[in-house]
A and B are shown apart, each in its own frame.
Chain A
Amino acid sequence: MPEPLVRVEDLCIDFGSARIIDGFSFHIRSGETVALVGESGCGKSMSALALARLVPEPAGRYAGGRVMFEGRNILEMSERDIRRLRGNKIAYVFQEPGASLNPVMRVGDQIAEALRLHRGREGVRDEVIRLLEMVGIPDPANRRRSYPHQLSGGQQQRVMIAMALACRPKLLVADEPTTALDVTVQAQILDLLQKIQRESGTAILLITHNLGLVAGRADRVYVMYAGCLAESGPVEKVLRDPRHPYTRALLKAVPRLNHKGGRLPGIPGNVPSADAMPDGCRFHPRCALSDRLCAEVPPPVEAVENEHCVACHHWKRSNAKT
């Protein structure tokens, strides 16, 4: 198997004395869509930021592990080298397009910025128009002169995607790209990301708190809980045969159209705060399967089959009630 585009090994990130990412490993192959799923505060955004060494320092600190991108460790690169990567080979789309765009700059100029920086000045105008057209903005030649407030939320997110794609990145990190948007617009934006990936072969890391979103939209999924891996594997496997109690609980929490009457099963309790992580398995205080072993020993990551991995002492009791 060829070396993947990105390989993160045993990543640890500290904020103050709290370890918010604890030995998290994952990889993304070229042209693949990988989803990273978990609740707020589970460390999924921080893991994604680490891919371009964007964790805010010195508040945050890389405490261990490696982030290998095309064979080089990003955490040990010079500032100069890494600036050549950011926005060029690794690009980000964030949750709130309104907050990520510069309100006093025309959207076309914002897209052009990255192009000028990484690709030179030739043909920038035409390229901007082409990009806007690609992300489905009508009348791109005129729309590029719009300011962000003149666009709807969905269009703003399309501009963000155009900006991220300007330099034809190898990896596009989409951090909750649709959470701030309506459901209908959400479907359009996700369709757009899929279309782009098919056409350009860009690898996509899709970050979301909604496990329901990844069905049919990603190849593989990593479910994170409190800075650790809970379960990972091909999307169909994880959705059809989830082995970790947390994955099962997340799946049950997704509102479905065919669910009527009665309450939806929630997940009892809250995500532990970073400075009060429970010992052993970090999910055990909220888990119906937990016993003394769970409270004392962190579960190892075990393979269910092929690429399907789970970090739970009791994953074999897959039919157990959770």
Chain B
Amino acid sequence: MSIAWPAITGKDPMPKLEKNLLEMDALQVHYGPVCAVNGVSINIGAGECVALVGESGCGKTSLSRAVLGLEKISGGRVFFDGKNISDYDADDWKKYRERVQMIFQDPAESLNPRITVGGALNEVLKVCRKMPAAERLKETESLLKTVGLDADLAVRYPHELSGGQKQRVGIARALAVNPDLIIADEPVSALDVSVQVQILNLLLDLQQARGMALLLIAHDLAVVRYMCRRIYIMNRGEIMESGTADQIFENPSHPYTRALLDAVPDVDRGRD
């Protein structure tokens, strides 16, 4: 979409949260002279499921990478549990990365092709949770079960799995450290519709059962509707509109949000 939309200013329809787990304050990310994220403020409460929706190139991935410390923050601040992550020392970073985990878009590319599924999980348990070998084996089994996979799959390599199964392994790996927040960057856009539902339901169940917070990044508004209480709409590095799911879907105030809503394929529409 080539039109530059004006950002809505003045009002903040977001319900105020009591305590923020993650708080971005006018976050900026630059690549050389290019500004990918321009003054974005997003709050996520503990145990809350929040969606960030926008098209390719809107800066949503840069934003999530900056929050994880994978990209340099060029302006603004990010607070986690009330502490600015720019002030973290090496020890703090280590702890932070155990509390915040990421699930990537392409499950095939985020798994090492030469390490078995069990091996990938085992590594996390060994390095981050310092478990003894026997316990790791048991925990690997239970993690696979949690994400709906057969324990026998532990000896398989990523190429032997289907796309949906690989994404489940990615989720199991993120869960292995018992995180407080999972950032899921387009976790289903590479998957079939029928498998999308399975993965989204799994994320929803886990989020509710474990009380984790979830930042769901997507480009399809229909996908986030039933998962998230609050939604942020992003375009060209800025937040266009934010609000509760009901506000966004039933009463979108920004033309860009309406354009996104119109683009969702409608099963019930007739042929013109």
Listed in ascending order, the chain A residues whose CB lies under 8 Å from chain B are 39-41, 152-153, 182-187, 209-213, 215-217, 219, 235-236, 239, 249-251, 253-257, 259-267, 270-271
Contact = CB atoms under 8 A, between A and B. Distances in A.
A215 B246 CA distance: 25
B268 A39 contact: no
B196 A253 contact: yes
B226 A263 contact: yes
22 contacts: A39-B194, A40-B163, A40-B195, A153-B56, A183-B55, A183-B260, A184-B260, A186-B263, A187-B263, A209-B192, A211-B267, A213-B265, A216-B270, A253-B197, A255-B222, A255-B226, A257-B264, A260-B225, A264-B201, A266-B198, A267-B194, A267-B197
A266 B197 contact: yes
Interface of B: 1, 55-57, 162-165, 192-198, 200-201, 204-205, 219-223, 225-226, 245-246, 249, 259-272
B194 A250 contact: yes
Given A183-B264, A216-B271, A270-B162, 12 more contacts: A182-B56, A183-B55, A184-B263, A216-B269, A236-B270, A236-B271, A250-B194, A254-B265, A255-B222, A257-B261, A266-B197, A270-B164
Contacts of B267: 211-212, 215, 239, 251, 254, 256
- Which secondary structure dominates where chain A touches chain B? loop
* Listed residue (A39, A183, A187, A265) with the most chain B CB atoms within 10 angstroms of its CB: A183
A249 B266 CA distance: 16
* Listed residue (B162, B163, B194, B264) with the most chain A CB atoms within 10 angstroms of its CB: B194
B219 A183 contact: yes
A14 B265 CA distance: 35
B193 A212 contact: yes
A294 B262 CA distance: 41
* Listed residue (B197, B259, B260) with the most chain A CB atoms within 10 angstroms of its CB: B197
Contacts of A212: 193, 265-267
A210 B267 CA distance: 10
B217 to A, nearest CB: 13
A211 B193 contact: yes
Given A153-B56, A262-B226, A270-B164, A254 B193 contact: yes
A254 B195 CA distance: 10
Contacts of A265: 197
Nearest to B270: A216
B222 to A, nearest CB: 4
A199 to B, nearest CB: 15
A254 to B, nearest CB: 5
B263 to A, nearest CB: 4
Given A40-B163, A215-B266, A260-B225, A266 B194 contact: yes
A210 B269 contact: no
A260 B165 CA distance: 26
A253 B194 contact: yes
A136 B192 CA distance: 29
Contacts of A183: 55, 219-221, 260, 263-265
A184 B259 contact: yes
Contact of B193 (A186, A217, A250): A250
Which 4 A-B residue pairs are closest in the complex by CB-CB distance?
A: A255-B222, A266-B197, A184-B263, A212-B267
Contacts of B245: 260
Nearest to A41: B162
A216 B272 contact: yes
Nearest to B219: A182
